[in-house]
């Protein structure tokens, strides 16, 4: 049976992996909407290839170009943040939420409100909105499936078990490209070095997050909302080979792990086909060739981001949204060459510790206000002199 599909963030890394699977199974899917930030040429090409009903760019100044690029195709063109939300609200069987950052939150909420299945890659949206998002999922009878490889692994390991049976959930972390660097080396790390991930091919923002370990911090908060077993039952272990994508230990001390190649098409395929399975084009796992799986404890002296994220999760309320917003500002500044690598976590800590936290947001608008204000605070700190740069 053909199912309808919308991809928010179709031109990104997760978007491309999703479309690769759809391309191999064209008859199974009817593409409704594809969206991008401002990459008109690529978006128009994808919209034509997949015969989308509508293509949307978030950047309004790109609308005229998008219209030209889609001329004669019969594909609708739209632009702007509200168009993005309107399109996300169109009923579909499956929405793949693959925008990067809190910019994806409002469209994800719109997709949840139409009550379909949302395959969530956009972790920043869940980190920022937390209970506001999980309550909306309940209220609208939507289904949230985790695309993030760790959470997808946990979801598969849980396989219908009651969360009350869980003793511990362990997120694995590759440790990123700078895992073995000393603090002094980390201070001089460049953007090119930070995005050169050894195992995964991803967008720039998540690659930097992976290098700082903030990605694991965000994932800890993500897991806290998706699998509410209590923060004391959520752990992190560094596993440089990225073969085990996470594990669940049950109270009888039986631990289930999910293994697979480091290719996002595996967790995406698991979401697209759920609760069934589909063929994947990925190479099968060759454990004999891999030889060894190793594990080590995270080092929060060199990589303080996981500690900050855990503290934000414990504080709850607005803290995770503040953490996320400050991190987005810091990562953008690092990628632009404005701050050094180790200042990313320092800036996040500075913003979290400045003044009192706003009250816990209860609505989407309140989350967006917390996000906006934390960005302003982070940007103001960026303008100040800092001896480490």
Binding residue positions: 11-14, 39, 122-124, 148-150, 174, 197, 203, 210, 215-216, 219
Pick 149 or 212: Cβ nearer Mg ion: 149
CA-based nearest residue to 170, from 232, 121, 127, 225: 232
Give the residue with the Cβ less far from ligand NAD, 41 or 183: 41
Minimum CB distance to Mg ion smaller for 33 or for 226: 226
Q: What angle do CA 15, 20, 23 make, to 5 degrees?
A: 120
Residue 269 interacts with which of Mg ion, ligand NAD, none, CB < 5 to 8 Å by class: none
Of 65 and 148, which has the nearer Cβ to Mg ion?
148
Q: What does DSSP say about strands 54-57 and 3-8: parallel, antiparallel, or unpaired?
A: unpaired
Task: Give the CA dihedral 139, 142, 147, 151, nearest 10 degrees.
Answer: 50
Pairing assessment for the beta strands 255-259 and 244-250 based on DSSP bridges: antiparallel
From residue 370, alpha-carbon distances to 140, 288, 322, 377, 380 in Å are 24, 49, 7, 11, 15
Interacting residue with Mg ion among 124, 148, 249, 263 (CB under 5 A): 148
Q: Which long-range contacts (CB under 8 A, 24 or more apart) does 66-69 make?
A: 66/40, 69/40, 69/41, 69/43, 69/44
Verify cis geometry, omega within 30 degrees of 0, for the bond prior to 96.
no
CB of 219 to Mg ion, least distance (A): 5
Stretch that binds Mg ion, among 58-66, 147-155, 340-348, 368-376 (CB under 5 A): 147-155
* Count, residues near Mg ion per rule CB under 5 A: 3
Q: Which is nearer to ligand NAD, 203 or 361 (CB)?
A: 203
Q: Give the one entry of Mg ion, ligand NAD, none that residue 246 binds, where binding means its C-beta sits below a cut-off of 5 to 8 angstroms depending on kind.
A: none
209: contact with Mg ion by CB under 5 A: no
Nearest approach, Cβ of 150 to ligand NAD (angstroms)?
8
d(CA 143, CA 96): 12
Contact residues: ligand NAD, CB under 6 A:
9-15, 36-37, 39, 58, 98-100, 103, 121-124, 148, 200, 202-203, 205-206, 264
The total of other beta-carbon atoms located within 10 Å of residue 196's CB is 13
**How near is the Cβ of 37 to ligand NAD at its closest, in Å?**
3
Residue 118 Cβ vs ligand NAD, minimum distance, rounded to whole Å: 13
Report if residue 124 touches Mg ion, rule: CB under 5 A.
no
Compute the CA torsion angle 344, 347, 353, 354 (nearest 10 deg).
Answer: -160
Q: Please say which residue, 206 or 357, places its beta carbon nearer to ligand NAD.
A: 206
Binding residues (CB under 5 A) for Mg ion: these are 148-150
């Amino acid at each position: 049976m053909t199912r309808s599909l919308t991809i928010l963030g179709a031109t990104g890394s997760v978007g491309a992996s999703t479309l690769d699977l759809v391309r191999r199974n064209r008859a199974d899917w009817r593409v409704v909407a594809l969206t991008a930030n401002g990459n008109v040429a690529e978006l128009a090409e994808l919209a034509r290839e997949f015969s989308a009903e509508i293509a949307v760019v978030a950047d309004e100044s790109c609308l005229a170009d998008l219209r030209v690029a889609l001329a004669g195709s019969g594909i609708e063109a739209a632009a702007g943040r509200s168009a993005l939300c309107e399109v996300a609200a169109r009923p579909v069987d499956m929405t793949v939420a693959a925008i990067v950052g809190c910019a994806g939150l409002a469209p994800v909420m719109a997709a949840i409100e139409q009550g379909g299945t949302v395959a969530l890659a956009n972790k920043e949206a869940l980190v920022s909105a937390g209970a506001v998002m999980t309550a909306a999922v309940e209220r609208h009878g939507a289904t949230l499936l985790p695309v993030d490889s760790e959470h997808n692994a946990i979801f598969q390991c849980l396989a219908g078990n009651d969360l009350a049976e869980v003793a511990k959930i362990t997120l694995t972390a590759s440790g990123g490209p700078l895992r073995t660097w000393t603090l002094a080396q980390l201070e001089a790390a460049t953007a090119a070095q930070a995005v050169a991930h050894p195992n995964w091919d991803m967008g720039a923002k998540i690659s930097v997050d992976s290098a700082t370990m903030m990605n694991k911090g965000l994932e800890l908060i993500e897991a806290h909302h998706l699998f509410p077993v209590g923060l004391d039952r959520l752990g992190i272990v560094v596993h440089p080979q990225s073969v085990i994508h996470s594990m669940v230990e049950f109270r009888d001390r039986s631990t289930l792990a999910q293994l697979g190649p480091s290719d996002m098409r595996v967790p995406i395929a698991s979401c697209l086909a759920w609760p069934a399975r589909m063929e994947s084009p990925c190479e099968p796992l060759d454990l004999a060739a891999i030889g060894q799986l190793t594990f080590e404890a995270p080092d929060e002296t060199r990589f303080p981001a996981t500690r900050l994220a855990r503290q934000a999760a414990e504080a709850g309320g607005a803290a995770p949204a503040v953490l996320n917003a400050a991190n987005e500002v810091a990562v953008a500044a690092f990628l632009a060459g404005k701050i050094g690598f180790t200042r990313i976590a320092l800036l996040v800590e500075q913003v979290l510790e400045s003044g009192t936290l706003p009250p816990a947001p209860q609505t989407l608008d309140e989350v967006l206000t917390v996000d906006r204000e934390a960005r302003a605070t982070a940007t103001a700190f960026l303008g100040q002199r800092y001896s480490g740069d």
